[in-house]
């Protein structure tokens, strides 16, 4: 009889809300695992946590309501395991993770005597490219343990901490074991997590639909606006609604590199949108004899700098005066401004056809379309740099040549090529229906519920789940290209 823990996980899989592997046996067989390992992994997935974590004088424990897992995940420390959990929750390469997995026996020498006992790791993790156990320690603790039990914890020649007894157990099943320490965590990331802790640990977060729409529209109009400037607007948005929207994935900031507590973090409508803005700047500076800077350095001209739209107010002998859409001004020394131009850090916004037309195309593009364009652009760069290893297994040279034609046409029209890579099939005329109505419904559901709503799943992962769902319902799935264009 399955435990309630196992039943809850199975219901989460059947519900299809997130990314748990629906057919674990097929998944593991595709990775080349033997039946013994598959049986062992299935038992780990169905087991309740081996122990309940407790607070002590040094640590404050708790539970995190994981949307990915559909369960509450335990952590023993708010400064170590908790940030590690959040990283797994939002890393698309992590498919599943379990706290306090079933214990296993380890043995090692201590003071000349053989020691054998049961051991419980902090997590068992299933990634796209790695499956195994993780043990998390502070740097101070691992140093003390390595002195006390040198056969159990060791520093190898590459400067990595190892636990040979646990690795020996993992290797029996073709699995892995990692010792992770506090230094492995991005300190800025940890600081942000601590700041957002109350929101992250809440199991009932929500934002009024009208407020959510206003927040998204505001950030869409001002990509790269800081939290401070956003909250200082006359709209008087509440910080709680903003941070809740951030946790729910309605908006985006680079939580690893931006700093949220001091309110300097830049906000975007999505990760794909931020990358697309970066690619607009980059695509204006790729080696190309036909290209030139698409604006003159003079009063009234607009440009993109670090994802923010700036307007030139004045060009003086020693500095260039700029203003952004939230009325912030800045004086940039002429030498610095010339350096930014030379290095491609800023890009003029073309005024052909309509002012800021390329930004309008970005705002109207779906997350799928932007990720698709970002993907195409990365392969075009590889192609131009002669890096065949990066694109030869992805697409044919004929496909890249087709993308390049669109890229070059956009260079002439907009001053950068990236815009030409954004699919605009939704604006094209009537077409012959290419797929079954039922398949279209499945496709629309996957895009809405698994990709655009969660905003933590890669396009390829959604396609593989969509493909599996179509086959289970007896339909032949369309290609990933058609899904990307939806």
Residue reference for tokens 């998204």: 216
Shortest CA distance to 125 belongs to which of 96, 163, 91? 96
Q: Encode burial over 258-280: b for 16+ CB neighbours within 10 A, e otherwise.
A: bbbeeeebbbbbbbbbbbbbbbb
- Which residues does residue 308 pair with via DSSP β-bridges, in sequence order? 305
Nearest-10 crossing angle of helices 357-364, 271-283: 150
Q: What tokens does 437 get?
A: 């109505």
- pLDDT tens profile 105-144: 999 999 889 999 999 999 999 999 999 999 999 999 999 9
DSSP state of 425: G
Return all residues near 419 (Cβ < 8 A) that are at least 6 apart.
280, 358, 361, 362, 410, 413
- In the predicted model, what is the mean pLDDT of residues 196-203? 87
- pLDDT tens profile 135-157: 999 999 999 999 999 999 999 99
What pLDDT, on a 0 to 100 scale, did the predictor assign at position 287? 39
Please check the confidence at residue 294 and state whether its pLDDT lies above 70. Answer: no
Three-state secondary-structure class, residue 401: helix
DSSP state of 428: S
Query: Per this entry, what is the length of the chain?
Result: 486
Residue 215 to residue 201: CA distance in whole angstroms: 22
Check residues 368 and 27 and name the one with the higher pLDDT.
Answer: 27
- pLDDT tens profile 164-191: 999 999 999 999 999 999 989 998 998 9
What pLDDT, on a 0 to 100 scale, did the predictor assign at position 288? 36
For 187, counting Cβ atoms within 10 Å of its Cβ (0-12 exposed, 13-18 middle, 19+ buried), the class is: exposed
Please check the confidence at residue 411 and state whether its pLDDT lies above 90. Answer: no
Three-state secondary-structure class, residue 124: strand
- Which residues does residue 177 pair with via DSSP β-bridges, in sequence order? 133
Shortest CA distance to 246 belongs to which of 263, 444, 15, 232? 263
116: Cα separation from own chain's centroid:
41
229: Cα separation from own chain's centroid:
25
- Which residues does residue 435 pair with via DSSP β-bridges, in sequence order? none
Banded pLDDT at 404 (limits 50, 70, 90): very high
If you average pLDDT over each of 247-251, 287-291, 366-370, 450-454, which comes out highest? 247-251
Shortest CA distance to 375 belongs to which of 485, 244, 242? 485
Residue 471 to residue 467: CA distance in whole angstroms: 6
Q: Whole-model pTM?
A: 0.63
- Which residues does residue 161 pair with via DSSP β-bridges, in sequence order? 155
**DSSP notation for 83-121:** HHHHHHHT-TTEEEEEESPPPEEEEEEETTEEEEEEE--
Would you tell me how many other CB atoms lie within 10 Å of the CB of residue 86?
23
């Amino acid at each position: 009889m399955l435990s309630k823990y196992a039943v809850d996980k199975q219901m989460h899989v059947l519900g299809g809300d997130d990314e748990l592997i629906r057919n674990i046996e097929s998944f593991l067989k595709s990775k080349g695992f033997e039946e013994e390992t598959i049986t062992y992994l299935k038992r780990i997935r169905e087991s309740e946590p081996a122990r309940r974590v407790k607070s002590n004088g040094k640590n404050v424990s708790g539970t995190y309501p994981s949307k990915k897992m559909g369960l509450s995940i335990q952590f023993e420390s708010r400064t170590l395991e908790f940030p590690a959990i959040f990283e797994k929750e939002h890393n698309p390469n992590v498919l599943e993770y379990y706290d306090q997995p079933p214990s296993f026996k380890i043995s090692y020498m201590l003071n000349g005597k053989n020691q054998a006992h049961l051991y419980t790791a902090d997590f068992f993790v299933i990634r796209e490219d790695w499956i195994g156990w993780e043990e998390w320690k502070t740097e101070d603790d691992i140093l003390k343990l390595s002195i006390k039990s040198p056969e159990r914890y060791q520093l190898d020649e590459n400067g990595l901490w190892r636990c040979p007894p646990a690795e020996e157990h993992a290797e029996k099943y073709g699995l892995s074991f990692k010792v992770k320490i506090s230094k492995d965590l991005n300190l800025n990331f940890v600081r942000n997590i601590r700041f957002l802790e109350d929101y992250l640990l809440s199991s009932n977060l929500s934002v009024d639909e009208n407020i959510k729409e206003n927040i998204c529209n505001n950030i869409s109009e001002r990509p790269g606006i800081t939290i401070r400037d956003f909250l200082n607007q006359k709209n008087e948005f509440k910080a709680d609604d903003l941070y809740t929207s951030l946790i729910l994935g309605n908006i985006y900031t680079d939580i690893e590199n931006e700093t949220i507590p001091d309110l300097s973090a830049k906000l975007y409508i999505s990760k794909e949108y931020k990358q697309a803005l970066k690619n607009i700047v980059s695509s204006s500076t790729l080696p190309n004899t036909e290209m030139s800077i698409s604006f003159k350095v003079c009063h009234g001209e607009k440009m993109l700098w670090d994802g923010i739209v700036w307007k030139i107010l004045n060009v003086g002998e020693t500095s260039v005066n700029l203003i952004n859409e939230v009325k912030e001004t800045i004086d940039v020394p002429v030498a610095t401004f010339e350096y930014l131009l030379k290095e491609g850090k800023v890009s003029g916004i073309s005024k052909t056809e309509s002012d800021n037309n390329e930004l309008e195309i970005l705002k109207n593009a779906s997350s799928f379309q932007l990720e698709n364009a970002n993907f195409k652009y990365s392969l075009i760069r590889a192609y131009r740099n002669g890096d065949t290893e990066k694109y030869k297994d992805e697409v044919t040279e004929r496909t890249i040549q087709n993308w390049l034609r669109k890229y070059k046409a956009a260079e002439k029209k907009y001053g950068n090529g990236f815009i030409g890579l954004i699919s605009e099939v939704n604006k094209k005329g009537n077409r012959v229906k290419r797929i079954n109505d039922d398949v279209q419904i499945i496709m629309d559901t996957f895009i809405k519920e698994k990709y655009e709503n969660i905003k933590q799943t890669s396009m390829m992962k959604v396609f593989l789940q969509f493909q599996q769902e179509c086959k289970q319902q007896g339909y032949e799935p369309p290609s990933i290209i058609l899904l990307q264009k939806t």
